[in-house]
A and B are shown apart, each in its own frame.
Chain A
């Protein structure tokens, strides 16, 4: 009670420096929690984001590129494969579902993906299949119709009944517009998957788009595969990757993404190190702030000691004050954390369609504040030692 009164009054007496220091702690703590949470959530989300598929079949190339292209709708396709390869995969008894994809065009930077309508009836998460918003429907094969992912529709400002002409290539080039005009017939409900960023059209539509090579009209860019049993993945891996040399079978999908994160592990470590360094600098600021005020506190400490306060009491008061500054800072750190995560989430969603949840519980939200408060208290030890050593008789002497 007395300790807390001393701490509160001291904080009020040194309000400006305490506030500045608390803000530093808040920035450091917010950054630390954000780096940790974004890293963990991104890893969990990307490695867990398979769209409900077990594997991807594509032209010979890197598995990661194949996964990024077919699942995350990022990167260019490593090449095309004949439609017959899709038919072969679809008729394989080990395969439950196989859906072909064709890419190569965009509308104002949003990727057009040609596919079959049964893509939308395949669950992208257990118990969750794509649904069209009321007032819309799925496209019909053979028609120039499009169904838009929710994010793409919002960003493009398109609604059911609108018409648009796609552009050639995966990147927007105003000079490369196709003559074909598509009509929006449906908008998908948000799925928080990369599919939200896609403009979906019939497979044949993309294959036969004006200006495309008629010789490749029957080709597809990739085939999404759902297996009947996990063991089937090994058989197909053997078939396509080891015995064949024409196609690539990317399986399992999560492993490809985990490998990607592993490749950037060093970057991850650097970010974490920077966050910890910022935390240490902020902790140093707590120490400097209190330490620099010790000469102005000398008299107060001497008075407290003259009133009977023990050395350990004034020591504890300084440590508690430092910890309180850190605790105050960490309350503000939650706001900064939410702001950073909301920003990062918006960017990641815009770039990949994957959604991070700033409110998702994370252990870092518990241990980081505790660690920062402990560091803050630790930072208070040096000035607390000075307080402990305060000479009462000297401190009571008025300074001239």
Chain B
């Protein structure tokens, strides 16, 4: 059974001059449970918009996104928030950790809006990513590699069924990128989560058995167009 099913997905943005620019047009995309897929996409192929649409952060102009049997277009914004808090983990290129919160609190917040904070699970996850000695540090006190490991732990904290990773190694050096990628893949596998990762890095993409090109998938006239 498909965990994620996308049909005729369209998203356009209005440019400052008033013209409409189509950024995403994906006729069909599916992702099975516990599957790991890498989408190759260079800058401007609409990959962040695509992931935001799946996460319910953006709403499509048309088409359907069905996650775990729930058609997202039929959900209210609050219900989409709830779905994101329970079913989706999101790993960003820039980590997007909350700077005023400790490492442990960042991970706890990853659960708070969904199943509820579980301190022992948060600690276990941080131990799993090698940060057991950094629980009460703040993100600014960590290296970039360590920050991305916190982001991985946070994305997995609420036992999501789907993890979205947007250029998760884009800000890391080669060694840290390799380590982070391994953690993401292992973490998803250990937590029975499917992984949809987008990257432009051939070194990252080559590690996936399942690869798709977003440029081929996305038939939009001006992908990535307007921010």
Contact = CB atoms under 8 A, between A and B. Distances in A.
A397 B93 CA distance: 10
Interface stretch (B24-32, B76-84, B204-212): B76-84
5 contacts: A2-B117, A5-B109, A303-B97, A308-B85, A310-B81
Return the 3 tightest CB-CB contacts between A and B, nearest first: A308-B85, A308-B113, A13-B100
A205 B111 CA distance: 87
A311 B78 CA distance: 8
Contacts of A361: none
Contact of B77 (A1, A10, A311, A397): A311
A313 B113 CA distance: 9
Interface in A1-26: 1-2, 5, 9-10, 12-13
B113 A306 contact: no
A137 B55 CA distance: 91
Interface string B202-227: 00000000000000000000000001
A304 interface: yes
A393 B58 CA distance: 7
Interface of B: 49, 52, 55, 57-58, 77-78, 81-82, 84-86, 90, 92, 94, 96-101, 105, 108-110, 112-114, 117, 154, 227
A392 interface: yes
B81 A305 contact: yes
A2 B101 contact: no
A304 B98 contact: yes
A9 B85 contact: no
A308 B101 CA distance: 17
Interface of A: 1-2, 5, 9-10, 12-13, 299-300, 303-313, 392-393, 396-398
B113 A307 contact: yes
B98 A9 contact: yes
Nearest to B58: A393
Most buried by B among A10, A13, A305, A308: A308
Given A5-B105, A308-B82, A10 B100 contact: yes
Contacts of B108: 5
Contacts of A310: 78, 81-82, 113
A249 to B, nearest CB: 73
Contacts of B84: 306-308
A307 B117 CA distance: 13
A371 B139 CA distance: 38
Nearest to B96: A303
B52 A393 contact: yes
A2 B109 CA distance: 7
B117 to A, nearest CB: 7
Contacts of B81: 305, 308-311
B114 A308 contact: yes
A396 B92 CA distance: 9
Given A303-B98, A307-B85, A308-B85, A393 B113 contact: no
Given A2-B109, A311-B77, A392-B57, A306 B96 contact: yes
Given A12-B100, A393-B58, A306 B90 contact: yes
Nearest to B90: A306
B57 A393 contact: yes
Nearest to B93: A398
Given A308-B82, A309-B113, A310-B113, 5 more contacts: A2-B112, A300-B99, A305-B57, A307-B113, A310-B78
Contacts of B82: 308, 310
A362 to B, nearest CB: 39
B227 A397 contact: yes
A56 to B, nearest CB: 68
Contact of A307 (B49, B52, B77, B109): B109
Contacts of B90: 306-307
Residue from the set B99, B109, B227 with the largest chain A CB neighbour count within 10 Å:
B109
Nearest to A5: B105
Nearest to A2: B112
Contacts of A313: 113
Contacts of A303: 96-98
Nearest to B95: A303
B98 A2 contact: no
Nearest to B110: A307
B143 to A, nearest CB: 18
A307 B109 CA distance: 8
Contacts of B114: 308
Given A1-B117, A304-B109, A398 B57 contact: no
Given A1-B117, A308-B81, A397-B227, A9 B100 contact: yes
Q: Most chain-B CB neighbours within 10 Å: which of A1, A307, A310? A: A307
Contacts of A12: 100
A9 B77 contact: no
A300 B101 CA distance: 10
A261 B109 CA distance: 58
A10 B101 CA distance: 9
Contacts of A13: 99-100
B85 to A, nearest CB: 2
Nearest to A309: B113
A313 B114 CA distance: 13
Given A308-B84, A308-B86, A392-B57, A398 B94 contact: yes
Contacts of B97: 303
B104 to A, nearest CB: 11
Q: Which of A9, A305, A397 has the most CB of B within 10 A?
A: A9
Q: Which of B77, B82, B100, B154 has most chain A Cβ within 10 Å?
A: B100
